[in-house]
Amino acid sequence: MLETARQYRCSTLRPTELVDDLLARIRSGSLNAFITVDEAGAMRDAGKAEKALKQGSGDTLTGIPVAVKDNICTRGIKTTCASKILANFVPTYDATVVERLRNRGAIIIGKTNLDEFAMGSTTTTSTFGPAKNPWDETRTPGGSSGGSAAAVAAGLCAGALGSDTGGSIRQPASFCGITGLKPTYGSVSRFGLVAFASSLDQIGPMARTARDTAVLYDAIKGHDPSDSTSVPRGYPAIDLKSPDMNGIRIGVPDEFFAEGLSPEVALSVRRGISTFEGLGARIIPISLPYIRYGVAVYYIIATAEASSNLARYDGVRYGVRKEGSGDLTDMYMETRAQGFGAEVKRRIMLGTYALSAGYYDAYYKKASQVRVLISQEFEAAFTRCDLIAGPTAPVCAFGLDEMMDDPLSIYLLDIYTIPANLAGLPALSLPCGFSGEGMPVGMQLIAPHFREDTLLGAGMAFQDHTGFHEVRP
Ligand code: GLN
């Protein structure tokens, strides 16, 4: 992205040229990374950007092609959430993040594939078929923002937006060898993000490098009165010079290197942590015992909120309607029975159960209490360290047909990403190595609330001294 901006400035590349080339590559590719490509809109905006650059009025994002996950609303462009129920939904407004990118001159090239309503880790629950991993097309790019990750890794866009409720930016970033940031809850507006689990959902940027990720984050962050959970405070620009890592304290929790972690992933992440040590960081062993309950807590809270959020798809207000055999209730039931896929139905049922009278205290309330304990545990840890490091996911990208009949084993893969969502903390996934089979490995860094500067700075310092982010599929 920064490199493209530089080429634009020295006139060795023009936005229309780049967009034309990307559109041709998207058309002829087989990754299924996009659900909708806005060819006409992208070419129109490339023309505008070209003019602005010629007149010298452009900024870093002018003419930069960005892909947007298809659960983020785009005015006049279909936003399907990879679900049959929203297959024809065309929003009448742009999400705040999209509006902010457009105002900076970025080009929205298309809408990327995801798991239906962002519920999943593989994109295989997409009604449009799975996206594929550019490193090996028989494997998943991860999920749910798998289309965004695949598109960035394959160079089909300069950067992308994803959403992360339990790991959906970081895990696909790690599976595709790119950089992905889940910002602090409340730092990036959720206005126009189709809600999955509102207390966990967060939009964030994905790009090849931590610097490009920082540029996108800078463009989308900040208070938005249209989102009641958006936090009004100062959001200083991220410094793109990498900081001195000398004396930075990096906490490494035992629990992040426990049973179930692939030895290859463990090795690359340990080496990544040593790289930081080589740069002068102090490594501090810590313990976060409550995070072992993270997956259980998440799959109660997320499904409970999803069951409530998805009640709005009733065939009346949004999307597709299927007439039933008789009355209004039949129409509701038929619409939802035909409109939602199996995983979404599973979540709605689990969530409804967890919220029902008699079970609420045992499940939802208990989960909310443990969530507080997890937050407090992080707070205590951050008195002893500036960042926490570990793996992003316990494994590398796996085959598209693996584990699909076993939802629980897929849920368990979210073990390292979920805690940051439960505590609302910012977290970054960075490429830190490759498996024996040549698949990328991701390292996760977690920072205190609103310390995206520390997080992205550490990412920049790491990438100034390693080359994993430069390897192309
Ligand atoms: N894999 C997790 C889930 O299935 C996370 C999804 C997400 O972050 N959107 O819920």
Q: How far is the CA of 111 from the centre of ligand 1 (A)?
A: 18
Chain centroid, CA 473 distance in Å = 20
Round to whole Å and give the CA distance between 401 and 80.
24
User: pLDDT at residue 331 above 90?
Assistant: yes
Atom of ligand 1 nearest to the CA of 121: 1
pLDDT for residue 325: 79
Task: Given the residues 168, 174, 187, 268, select the one marked as catalytic.
Answer: 168
- Asked whether residue 320 carries a pLDDT value surpassing 90, the answer given is no
What is the mean pLDDT of the segment spanning 288-311? 97
Q: 168 catalytic, yes or no? A: yes
d(CA 315, CA 327): 13
pLDDT at 338: 94
Residue 329 burial (CB count, 10 A): 9
126 vs 144: CA distance, rounded Å: 9
State residue 318's pLDDT score: 79
Catalytic residue among 83, 126, 144, 268: 144
Residue 352 in this model has a pLDDT that exceeds 80: yes
337 pLDDT above the threshold of 90: yes
Whole-number pLDDT of residue 408: 87
What is the token pair recorded at 95?
């999400």
Q: What is the pLDDT of residue 317?
A: 84
From the CB of 124, is ligand 1 less than 6 Å away? no
| Mean pLDDT score, 370-378 | 98
Percent of the chain with pLDDT over 70: 100
Task: Identify which of 83, 126, 165 to mutate to test ligand 1's pocket (most ligand atoms within 8 A of the CB).
Answer: 165
Residue 340: C-alpha distances to residues 73, 80, 82, 126, 260 (Å): 19, 12, 10, 11, 32
Q: Residue 405's pLDDT is what?
A: 77
- Cβ of 302 closer than 6 Å to ligand 1, yes or no, is yes
Sheet containing strand 159-163, strands side by side: 34-37, 107-112, 65-69, 159-163, 203-207, 179-182, 427-434, 440-446, 387-391, 249-253, 282-286
Confidence of residue 404 (pLDDT cuts 50, 70, 90): confident
Nearest Cα residue to atom 4 of ligand 1: 120
Chain mean position to CA 34: 15
Dump pLDDT digits (tens) for 39-79.
999 999 999 999 999 999 888 999 999 999 999 999 999 99
Atom of ligand 1 nearest to the CA of 163: 9
Average pLDDT of the segment spanning 17-36: 97
Residue 348 corresponds to which amino acid? I
Assess whether the C-beta atom of 166 lies below 6 angstroms from ligand 1: yes
- Read off the tokens for 21: 């080339």
- Which atom of ligand 1 is least distant from the CA of 120? 4
C-alpha 199 – ligand 1 centre gap (Å): 13
Pairing type for strands 65-69 and 107-112 reads parallel
Based on the residue annotation, tell me whether 199 is a catalytic residue of this protein: no
- Residue 272 contacts residue 430 (beta carbons within 8 Å): yes
The residue assigned the tokens 């505008």 is 48
Residue with tokens 């793109």: 240
Q: How far is the CA of 116 from the centre of ligand 1 (A)?
A: 10
Residue-averaged pLDDT of the chain = 96
**Structural domains in the chain, sorted by start:** 2-246+452-470 (3.90.1300.10)
CA of 52 to the centre of ligand 1 (A): 39
Cα–Cα dist 198/202, whole Å? 8
The amino acid that residue 31 corresponds to is L
Distance 221 CA to ligand 1 centre (A): 22
| Residue 298 CA, closest ligand 1 atom number | 10
Label residues 364-383 b or e (16+ Cβ within 10 Å = b). Answer: bebbeebbeebbebbeebbe
Active site residue 69: yes
- Please report the pLDDT score of residue 161 as a whole number: 98
Closest ligand 1 atom, CA of 165?
8
Q: CB-based contacts of 147: which residues, under 8 Å, 6+ apart?
A: 32, 33, 34, 35, 67, 69, 70, 112, 113, 114, 123, 131, 141
pLDDT in tens, 405-446: 788 889 999 999 999 999 999 999 999 999 999 999 999 999
Stretch 86-98: mean pLDDT: 97
CA of 401 to the centre of ligand 1 (A): 18
What's the rounded mean pLDDT across residues 314-334? 87
